[in-house]
Copies of this chain bind each other. A is one copy, B any other.
Amino acid sequence: MELTEFIERSIGRWRSQRSGHHLAFSHFEEIRSTIDIVALEADDSAVIDICKLYNIDPTTALHPFRMSWEGESDWDEDDIQSGSCVLVPIPDPENPDRGKLLREQGYAETIAAVGNYHLSKDGTFTLLTEYDRAAAEERIWFATPNLRFRVSLIKTSSGQGVTTASFSSEIRDLSQSD
């Protein structure tokens, strides 16, 4: 699978069921959310802005997209967690299965971030993003065209320890189809 196909398969509305494991305390968290992934044009001003921020030529971007989410955690049912960010893949010209993913806003910290991705032969997309005081690793893969899984780890900045692991089952919301 190529990155273009992976992103095209990701476009749409997804119903996500996510379990967080807080490893030190053996604590569970349950989150239900809706995720929308929408393709953006390469000349979208948000895409141009992020490329400028990182001093990267916007014409090297491949299939940028916007991801929005709205979710509810069992920790606080009144607390609707929602957000949105623009993601811009910049493939490595020498190895199309690897590259950088520019993001307007990260998961672990609400700042812009650059991650390194890799798409393996079996179709697993792996993303490693390093922040000042932590690192995030994500693995995303499709079980079927309408079901994808995501494992996210929050690591200490040294990369040695894992503080939180979460697992999401994401089912395509076909009620939104035309």
Contacts and interface: CB of A to CB of B under 8 A. Distances in A.
Interface majority SS on A: helix, strand, loop or mixed?
A: strand
Nearest to A22: B17
A105 interface: no
Interface of A: 15, 17, 19, 21, 23, 26, 28, 30, 32, 120, 122, 143-144, 147, 149, 151, 153, 160-162, 165, 167, 169, 171
A3 to B, nearest CB: 18
B30 A28 contact: yes
A149 B120 contact: no
Contact of A15 (B26, B144, B161): B26
A170 B32 CA distance: 24
Copies in the complex: 2
16 contacts: A17-B21, A19-B21, A19-B30, A19-B167, A21-B167, A21-B169, A23-B169, A28-B30, A143-B153, A143-B162, A143-B165, A144-B161, A147-B162, A151-B151, A165-B169, A167-B167
Contacts of A120: 120, 122
Contact of A23 (B160, B162, B171): B171
Contact of A26 (B23, B32, B161, B165): B32
Contacts of A165: 143, 149, 167, 169
A81 to B, nearest CB: 17
Contacts of A15: 26
Contacts of A167: 19, 21, 151, 165, 167
A20 to B, nearest CB: 9
